[in-house]
Structure 1
Amino acid sequence: MDADLTLDLIEATVQIDQPVNDQKRMVGTGFLVSVPREGAAPEVVLVTAAHVFERMPQNEVRIGWRVKAANGTWQYSPTRIPIRTDAGPLWTQNPKQDIAVIAVQVPPSYKDKAIPLSWLADERSFDQWHVSPGDEMMTLGYPHGYSANTIGFPILRAGRLASYPVGPVSSFPTFLIDLTAIPGNSGGPVFMTEHTERAPGADAPKATLVSGILTKQVEVNAQRLELGLVTHAVFVRQTIEQLFVARGQAPGVKVGVTSSAAPPPVVVAPKKLSPREAAGAAAVGQTKSKP
């Protein structure tokens, strides 16, 4: 892979929100992945942190599509999608990691904006590209519900890989980056491109891959350590495979962890939210009800 992911991922990243009241809303981040299927057109799934959906109590969320008119002007055009019914969640959740995926119908202009599944790192990618502590990684999201502009494009931020070792993923499913995981960034993609900086003296090829998904800010005794917790993209692949297995289907390529079969799908029971969660807990984010 030698393409620069940055612009493609900006296009594929969307805001997920749900109103709390007339003044506030809960906000998270998600990104679109195109999954190949045997004998059928690719299917688009939305990837986010599972807690983003869990802490939004209503049955529908808004997805912040951005539409470009023929005259070149942009418009923020959110639509609602269901994420649960009275019977329970509609998303597929990883049994061990904070990752959720859900199939979505995207506007016509978004059919080519979902990133290919192949761009997600697999369990060999970090070794193949010699990913090391100090390497720069970037993320996209909506900190405290803010976007880069009124059209709803995500904000790009960067930090250094702060963990060692970062594999194997069976032993180290998450890693740290030196970046403040502000509420609202949860669910955003974490990625490297050929333009990101490597650790000084690193003898490594240029890497272009989605490394993982930002899932948590690190706190000790309610004090933020200015570190973000990232879950390996391998588990995004695994969760996508769960979605297809639950339907009795098979994706066009093997997408999960190759060393083991995909686990059965997880059914997440609806839970009663605490007042703090209902108001927008720190890992999701809350802002005034404007994009």
Structure 2
Amino acid sequence: MDINSLSKKLLFNTVRVDTVMEDGSEGSGTAFVVSHAHRRGTHTFIVTNRHLVDGVREGGLVFTQKHNGQPVLGQRFQLNIEDFPHAWFTHPNPDIDLAIVPMRPLEQAARDQGVELYYHVIDSRLAPDAATLRGLDALEEVLFIGYPSGVWDHVNLMPIMRRGTTATPMALNFEGRAEFLIDAAVYPGSSGSPVFVYQPDVLRPNQSRKFLFAGVIAAVFFREEANQLVPGPVPPQQNGVVMGSEMIDLGLVIKSAAVIEVIEAYLTKWLE
């Protein structure tokens, strides 16, 4: 497969997160790679949800290997991280469900084992600013990528692409928080999935008319009682267990500005 389009590159933006919890249960979720230009250079991070790394006994990130600059489809490399929860830097606001880890030491650890990692980054400059958000319509098409219900093409190491629409205007902060809702099928394992406003150009398949890094999936709405809807963190997929509460296909997305905030907080702490 030639990696010659935006959507193909997005297949290599995500990283599968495999975890073992303190109680011994296994789970999986989603992370993705972001680059951010700072006054001291451009830095690359893996981003996921805080709730995916808290309480984890063992954790690993699954990558595709690289050879001669190209992906070796199906050639898996799992990078296990010691003391997994403490390797992550979390957003300084404990109410914002984000965690990051710098990419450089992970790549070095892979090289030490004779492995090159293949991935594509999302440039943080694709995050919409306030003016761009005001220019968006109330209803926009969105694309998100990850491992819903733990499903993926484990032979080729490909994630699952899913589409939906915004369910609340991105220009507004849902319930007063820097979040918005999407009307899409969000399931366990979708935690940490990157969300994009994506409008492909049908006349030019390799181009898009609109492409923005919108945010990160963090929660889904459950129907617990006949007239009660509650948002809850999207849990990691755990060994095919089906959850009892009914999910209603409304996902909560943390806006991408919060990803920039946690990266800036990390760089301020460690580089300045």
More contact order relative to length (CA 8 Å, sep ≥ 6): 1
Once the two structures are overlaid, the 10-residue window that deviates more, 99-108 or 216-225, is 99-108
Specify the SS of the correspondent of 2:80.
Answer: strand
* Aligned equivalent of 1:177: 182
Tell me the equivalent position of 1:80: 80
Contact 1:169–1:232 (Cα < 8 Å) also in 2:
no
Q: Report how far residue 51 of structure 1 moved.
A: 0.7
Asked whether 1:9 is paired with 2:7, we answer: no
Report the CA distance between 1:147 and its aligned residue: 1.1
Unaligned runs of 5+ in 2: 203-207, 225-244
Q: What's the TM-score once normalised by structure 2's chain length?
A: 0.74
Q: CA deviation at 1:237?
A: 0.8
Greater helix percent: which structure?
Answer: 2
The answer to whether the 8 A contact 1:29-1:184 is kept is yes
Relative to structure 1, the CA distance from residue 165 to residue 144 in structure 2 (aligned partners, 3 Å threshold; closer, same or farther) is closer
- Tell me, which stretches of 5 or more residues in structure 1 are unaligned? 198-204, 250-291
Write out per-residue CA displacement over residues 231-263 of structure 1, whole angstroms, 9 at most, x where no aligned residue. Answer: 1101111111111122243xxxxxxxxxxxxxx
Q: What's the TM-score, normalizing by structure 1?
A: 0.69
How well do the aligned residues superpose, as a CA RMSD in angstroms? 3.1
Q: CA deviation at 1:182?
A: 0.5
Work out the CA distance in 1 between the residues paired with 2:96 and 2:102. 19
1:1-291, aligned counterparts within 5 Å? 5-19=6-20, 25-40=26-41, 42-55=42-55, 57-58=56-57, 60-69=58-67, 73-74=72-73, 75-82=75-82, 84=84, 88=86, 90-95=88-93, 96-104=95-103, 105-106=106-107, 107=110, 109-110=116-117, 113-127=120-134, 130-164=135-169, 166-167=171-172, 171-195=176-200, 206-221=209-224, 222-249=245-272
User: Alpha carbons of 1:48 and 1:83: their partners in 2 closer, same or farther (altered >3 Å)?
Assistant: farther
Q: Give, in whole Å, the separation in 2 of the partners of 1:26 and 1:142.
A: 11
In 2, Cα distance between equivalents of 1:53 and 1:142: 16
Equivalent pair of 2:174/2:180 in contact (CA under 8 Å) = no
Displacement over 3 Å in runs of 4+:
37-40, 68-73, 82-85, 107-112, 168-172
* 1:114-152 residue CA offsets vs partner (Å, 9 max, x unmatched): 22221223333322xx32233210100001212134232
The change in CA–CA distance for 1:219 and 1:162 in structure 2 (over 3 A counts) is: same
Cα-to-partner distance string for 1:260-285 (whole Å, 9 max, x where unaligned): xxxxxxxxxxxxxxxxxxxxxxxxxx
* Structure 2 equivalent of residue 262 of structure 1: none
